[in-house]
Structure formats: C-alpha cells, structure tokens
A = this chain, B = another copy of it.
Amino acid sequence: MAAGRAPIPISNGVGEPDTDQPVVQARMALTLYGGARSRASMPRWYMEEKGIPYTWQLLDMEAGEHRQEAFTAINPFAKVPALVDDDPALPGGRLQLFESGAILLYLAERYGGECQNAAERGLAQQWVLFANATLATALFVPSNREREFPRLMEVLDRKLGEGPLMGNSWSVADCAVNAYLAYLPIFFPQIDLSPFPQVQATIAATQQRPAYQHVMGQR
C-alpha cells in the first residue's frame, strides 16, 4: 500500500520488476491496477477503509502502459481500474475484473464482510449502479445536467439525511455514492450545491476520513 509506482514487484509483466526487493506476489492476493486520477481511487478507498491488503500498480497512462498487452490481457478494453485476485480457491486460481463498480462489489462480498445474501447484494448493486450509471449520466450528458441532476440531488439529499445508505454503518453503497459526490466540487465547481445541505455535509465528511485522504493524497 505504499505510494508511487510498482511498490512491490509483480510477475505479470506490467512494469519492470525491481530486483532489489523480494517478490511477494505469491502471498499478495489482490492487485489493483490504476492510473493517476483514475476511478481506481474508489476501490482503493474501500480497501483502505476496510484494511484489505492489496498491491497497488500504478500504470503510466501517458506512456500508454494501459494499452500494452500485459494489461490488455487483464482488461481487453484497456481501461482502469482492473483487479486481479490470485487465490487457489478461485476457478483457475485467478479472477480478473474490470469496471470500478464491479471491483467494489466483489471486494465488499469477498473481503469486506458485506453483501452476504442476495437481498444485501441487490441493494449494494442498486447503489453502485446508481452512482456509476445514473449519477454519471446525469452529470456528463450536458442535456441532462440542468434538469435531471437537480432532481436526483434533491432526493439524494433527503436520503443522506437518514444516515448510511444501507444498514447502520458506512458500506460499499456509501463508498460508491460518496466517492462520486466528492468528485463534484473537483470536476463541476460551477454547480451550486447549497440547495443540498446533506450532500454538502456528506462531501465534507468524506473529505475528513483518513482512508479517503490517504488515497486521494496519492492521486
């Protein structure tokens, strides 16, 4: 979990191994691939909050490292983040996943102690899709931003006032939605959030979380 590029040598050919360090890939089950300022920060935040050990593999996107075969063997769409879980208990001993939301949901179930039945998984999937699909479309499709975005925010503001999105404590659902909300002042500083005080409070509370600060400080 050290900062910077390839802190721990890995065996799958992305980046040059640093032969001064021992190869520990065999006992590190999880490897997360991401780029600077990429959506990898969402699953990273989750792993930091939950204390899940992982190897962080920062790709040099400007140099096109994500388009090299070593990475497209993991995600053929050449997009980050991607997760590799090396575990003899898995079919074939390995799972390769892309899509930040899918990575988050997998981590929550397999390593975060969440999503332990179909109903819990259903609700977690609902909030992750809400964040990555509905909120994203409302924000990034210009024609939606004026009408659709305030509607979503109005309802979300009420919902956030009731506490965590699922159950009684911070969960994968809060991670997905709040990571997205915390992007707002960064990517859309022109949007006035003052009509949505609970959204503003949630963003402020997110920015205060040590695990969030740790990950975002490394972006």
Residues of A at the B interface (CB closer than 8 Å) are 76-79, 90-91, 95, 97-102, 105-106, 109-110, 118-119, 121-123, 125-126, 128-130, 132-134, 136-137, 140-142, 151-152, 155, 158-159
Contacts and interface: CB of A to CB of B under 8 A. Distances in A.
B97 A122 contact: yes
A146 to B, nearest CB: 15
A97 B127 CA distance: 10
A219 B152 CA distance: 26
Contact of A91 (B77, B102, B119, B125): B119
Contacts of A151: 77-78
Contact of A106 (B105, B121, B133): B121
Contact of A126 (B91, B102, B141): B102
A102 B119 contact: no
A167 B178 CA distance: 34
B110 A118 contact: yes
Given A76-B155, A77-B155, A136-B133, A126 B109 contact: no
A106 B129 contact: no
Top 6 closest pairs, chain A to chain B, by CB: A102-B126, A102-B125, A106-B122, A99-B129, A132-B133, A101-B129
Given A99-B126, A133-B136, 18 more contacts: A76-B158, A77-B152, A78-B155, A79-B134, A95-B119, A97-B122, A97-B126, A99-B130, A101-B129, A102-B123, A102-B129, A106-B118, A106-B121, A106-B122, A109-B118, A125-B125, A129-B132, A137-B137
A42 B38 CA distance: 30
A22 B34 CA distance: 56
A203 B208 CA distance: 48
Contacts of A140: 137, 141
Contacts of A102: 122-123, 125-126, 128-129
